Amino acid sequence: MTIQAATSVCIIGSGPAGLLMSQLLANAGIENIVIDRKGRAYIEARVRAGILEQGTVSAMREAGVADRLDVEGIPHHGLDLAFEGASHHIDIVGLTGKTVVAYGQTEVTKDLFVKRTQQGGRFYFDVENVVLSGLKSDRPAVNFRHAGQDVEISCDYIAGCDGFHGVSRNAIPANVLKTYDRVYPFGWLGILTERPPVSMECVYTNHPRGFSLCSMRSATRSRYYIQCDSNDDVANWSDDRFWDEFAARISPDLAAKLQTGPSFEKSIAPLRSFVAEPMRYGNLFLAGDAAHIVPPTGAKGLNLAVADIRILVRGLVERYARGNTHHIDTYSQKVLARVWKVERFSWQLSNLMHQFPDHSPFEKKMQRAEFDYLMQSEAASRTIAENYVGLPLD
């Protein structure tokens, strides 16, 4: 026997994008159900991004989940780029009038879960065998197995917020879907440690030994990264080995401030750029990592997903409140135009700040020339700043 359920919007994926969409729709009185192949505890524990653009902060406030963010978030007024001993500070407030905020994605997820649970949000966790059907009909359906029973959710729209490995993107026919991919020849080895950060703003460094990043999650919790081989194994990296390598890649001034200690999370993330087109098929909409991946350089992943959601929710509110389908009809075109600009920025910054094993001496000189130009040009610094704080939605 199949359990039947109905709603206006079925959201696949309960990461920050799916949860934020659920909350914003609920605020507008639009019914929705969220499903996920993982359990809530696993989802809340995932360690991801930590820098929020002003637009993401605004979306959290609009959703009514920014109380803790406004107290614990650490505003960043600038960032530092370093290249083989040279350093350049980018005053993002002075150049754009905006800031970004350090606040972990894990905390964003927790805040959204609390709000949705308090308001009686409808969830199905640990689902299996998810199948999307009737995508070009007026009432598409999502079928899956949950707690030993078959479930079918009929809805007006499906939002695929289920990440790169989810089912949503693959529900678009192969003769319709186009993908664009760039896999980088390295990854990021990252750790979390309960130690004060060496800097209260991010420091990106291109060192002959490889890239490094000084970041943080709070005034007492640091998040540090180093470039590593994409095929490396995290088991090869003891805490002591990481600290030695990290200290060698940052400036002597920062190394003198570095407080080492045990890590409580350590992982290697591969770097890739990926875009899928279109981001709408029938009444299925893709958002976030289901449609695009950016390298973590520049902290765009979560923020790009939130921008997708804000545009999609605006379109759905217009459709339900006024019967106006213009915004959902133009969703894919509008969002992809923005996605490619963000992809360009993440690709550009990644190319500048990493050591590429296959770079020729000429390409290495070009890297340095680009950095030298950045140090001397306010216009170039403004371009970095404008992209770092987040491009406008329209």
Nearest to 308 by CA among 9, 20, 10, 52: 20
Residue 225 a catalytic site member: no
Helix (H) / strand (E) element for 245: namely: helix 239-249
Residue 136 a catalytic site member: no
How far is 359 from 350, CA to CA, in rounded Å?
14
The residue from 124, 204, 281, 331 that is catalytic is: 204
Residue 76 a catalytic site member: yes
CB 14 within 8 Å of CB 321? no
CB 345 within 8 Å of CB 50? no
Q: Is 339 left (phi over 0), alpha (psi -120 to 50) or beta?
A: alpha
Residue 204 a catalytic site member: yes
CB 199 within 8 Å of CB 221? no
User: How many C-alpha atoms does 377 have within 13 Å on its Cβ side?
Assistant: 13
CB 371 within 8 Å of CB 83? yes
Q: Which residue type is seen at 191?
A: I
The residue from 88, 115, 207, 300 that is catalytic is: 300
CB 213 within 8 Å of CB 256? no
How far is 334 from 290, CA to CA, in rounded Å?
17
Residue 292 a catalytic site member: no
Cis preceding-peptide flag for 270 (omega within 30 of 0):
no
How far is 294 from 347, CA to CA, in rounded Å?
8
Main-chain phi, psi angles of 5, to 5 degrees: -140, 155
Nearest to 9 by CA among 127, 23, 1: 23
Q: For the chain, give the longest Cα–Cα distance.
A: 69
The residue from 140, 157, 296, 331 that is catalytic is: 296
Please give the structure tokens belonging to residue 249.
Answer: 């890649």
The residue from 124, 157, 281, 388 that is catalytic is: 388
CB-based contacts of 12: which residues, under 8 Å, 6+ apart? 18, 34, 35, 36, 130, 142, 158, 159, 160, 161, 162, 166, 167, 168
Catalytic residues, which ones?
Answer: 76, 204, 296, 300, 388
